[in-house]
A and B are shown apart, each in its own frame.
Chain A
Amino acid sequence: NAGVTQTPKFQVLKTGQSMTLQCAQDMNHNSMYWYRQDPGMGLRLIYYSASEGTTDKGEVPNGYNVSRLNKREFSLRLESAAPSQTSVYFCASSPDSYFQETQYFGPGTRLLVL
């Protein structure tokens, strides 16, 4: 059981470049989430997917798009990266988003936008 996996672990982009962060879970969870963590701030929710086929905006969605490819995979896309998107990105999953349950986090992707 790998839990939640994320690729890549680290990425450097130039302003204006695009990239997709990949996330997969093998726990058969219905709900998946993307967070970003910045110094001095807590994790902030970017987008979530309550179930396969649905996605919704979180607290800080601007500049991002997501795709829930299937039950296992939830990707985060930056179409035109900006320095303000330099952050550590965490993917998480939980059995169901409509209940208050533990979320299981991946190891994170560290993104630097120059």
Chain B
Amino acid sequence: DQQVKQNSPSLSVQEGRISILNCDYTNSMFDYFLWYKKYPAEGPTFLISISSIKDKNEDGRFTVFLNKSAKHLSLHIVPSQPGDSAVYFCAASAGNNNDMRFGAGTRLTVKP
């Protein structure tokens, strides 16, 4: 039962353009959402998070949008850079860290 879904396994964008990665969830109890970035042969690293009391959070080139009614969040990267090429995981939790659920990941390729 995948409670967090990333329906696009891969995404390719041109350098300088916007990358939009999407994530859907089914559990209405989730109240904290995170995006992790993963390079090959490395562990995931934290990128950005958002609490359910907000609908937007920005950190430099990265913005996460949360639509609670649609149970949908998205990560926008503007402008995209070749170094952003990685696998991006969406994650969600309900109240604590003990039951974090992850999506399957989206592989982003940014072409120079």
Contact = CB atoms under 8 A, between A and B. Distances in A.
A40 interface: yes
Interface residues of B, number: 29
Given A94-B97, A97-B97, A101-B97, A41 B45 contact: no
Interface stretch (B11-19, B60-68, B78-86, B101-109): B101-109
A45 B99 contact: yes
B42 A107 contact: yes
A75 interface: no
A59 B1 CA distance: 11
Contacts of A105: 36, 43-45
B99 A90 contact: no
Interface string B18-57: 0000000000000110101000011111100101000000
B44 to A, nearest CB: 5
A108 B22 CA distance: 25
A62 interface: no
Given A42-B4, A97-B97, A103 B103 contact: no
Nearest to B45: A105
Contacts of A58: 98-99
A104 B43 CA distance: 8
Interface of A: 4, 31, 33, 35, 40-45, 48, 50, 56, 58-59, 90, 92, 94, 96-108
Q: Which 9 pairs show the lowest CB-CB distances between chains A and B?
A: A42-B102, A105-B43, A100-B32, A102-B46, A43-B102, A97-B97, A105-B44, A42-B103, A98-B96
Interface of B: 2, 4, 6, 31-32, 34, 36, 41-46, 49, 51, 89, 91, 93, 95-105
